[in-house]
Amino acid sequence: NLILSFETSCDETSVAVIENGEKILSNIVATQIKSHQRFGGVVPEVASRHHIEQITGCINDALKQANVTYDELTAVAVTYGPGLVGALLIGVTAAKAVAWAHQLPLIPVNHLAGHIYAARLVKPILFPAMALVVSGGHTELVYMPEENRFEIIGETRDDAAGEAYDKIGRVLGINYPAGKQVDEMAHQGHDTFNFPRAMDQDDNFDFSFSGLKSAFINTVHHADQIHEQLNKQDLAASFQQAVVDVLADKTVRALHDYPVKQLILGGGVAANQGLRSRLEHEIQAFPQTTLMLVPLSLCGDNAAMIGAAGEMLYRHRVFADASLNADPGLEFDWLGESVSN
Ligand code: ATP
Ligand code: MG
Ligand code: FE
């Protein structure tokens, strides 16, 4: 089957064509990062306007690059949450229009299921599975006993991991989004600051990054006040080590409590080299579990991952009708029931 998929939850306008949920025929991603950088983050109104300007071109390019026509499509899949409401609405409206005009089923996809199903574009997912989803807005440990069941067993109580990267990056003078550059700096420094690892020893799977962020910012501000120059590489390395330690420790704890066949690392922060190599090391203690690192090209927001998740939902007959609305705060304890309002 051929699914045309849409992703507009934040600052990338993306349209893809996916074959059988596993093969990328095209994956057009129009990023808006340049327009948001001067504001230091994503401005919702600016994002919506860019999505409107880009979406039609992205649809045409996706079909053209895939060499597929509308009549050959099986279904349309779209991210309907979570994300920015105005941004989501552009994708949802475009997907509804295509589905209606070409009499195609409409599949509503949770953006976070997309980040996990990016793994499906490499290999079939083995169940039961565990996913660590780390992105700009989320930090979640998700247990998947079977296909189309997502149980959050742990999540951040405050900031998301990516959000923390972006905020401390700003203090280091790095443009939004800062994650990739902080990661690169971290590899040139050492963990000399020993920042707090919040909740690391707690007997749960939750995370907290706001204390770490504050400790980082206070350290830099204090040094500024006494005109002391701190080593930026060491600051980045110390921050990254604290983030990676808690993410890895909680994931290991989860793997002990929930034996799974596969551990999936997905989301924008899954591109982090420190986190990837740490999990590659930790997984050796779990011979029954294979580690699936989402490829770097599919960690950030893209429609291909939405098509992969959409195909799974298609097989489970999860469809929406023309009343589908954007759901900015869509929860993830989501059993894939049909969506209608
Ligand atoms: P969500 O998926 O929660 O709705 P989002 O879609 O905005 O949020 P993504 O696009 O999935 O988030 O991820 C973007 C985040 O990933 C940014 O915070 C960015 O700084 C971070 N990021 C990207 N590369 C790296 C890296 N190598 N190391 C750490 N963080 C990174
Ligand atoms: Mg993004
Ligand atoms: Fe995302």
187 Cα–ligand 3 center, Å: 24
**Residue 139, SS3 per DSSP:** strand
Task: Show binding-site residues for substrate.
Answer: 133-137, 166, 179, 183, 272
Q: What is the pLDDT of residues 177-191, one digit of tens each?
A: 999 999 999 999 999
Nearest CA to ligand 1 atom 7: 136
Q: Is the CB of 239 under 6 A from ligand 1?
A: no
Closest listed ligand to the CA of 300: 1
Distance 85 CA to ligand 2 centre (A): 15
Whether ligand 1 lies within 6 angstroms of the CB of 138 is answered as yes
Q: Is the pLDDT of residue 84 over 80?
A: yes
Task: For 195-233, write each residue's pLDDT tens digit.
Answer: 999 999 999 999 999 999 999 999 999 999 999 999 999
Atom of ligand 1 nearest to the CA of 137: 3
- Write the CB contacts of 11 (distance below 8 Å, at least 6 apart in sequence): 31, 32, 33, 36, 42, 47, 50, 87, 301
Query: Ligand 1: which atom is nearest the Cα of residue 169?
Result: 20
pTM for the model stands at: 0.96
Residue 334's pLDDT is 56
Q: Where are the alpha helices (DSSP H) in the chain?
A: 33-37, 44-66, 85-101, 111-117, 161-171, 179-186, 210-225, 232-257, 273-282, 303-315
For 193-211, the DSSP string reads: S----TTTTSSSS-B--HH
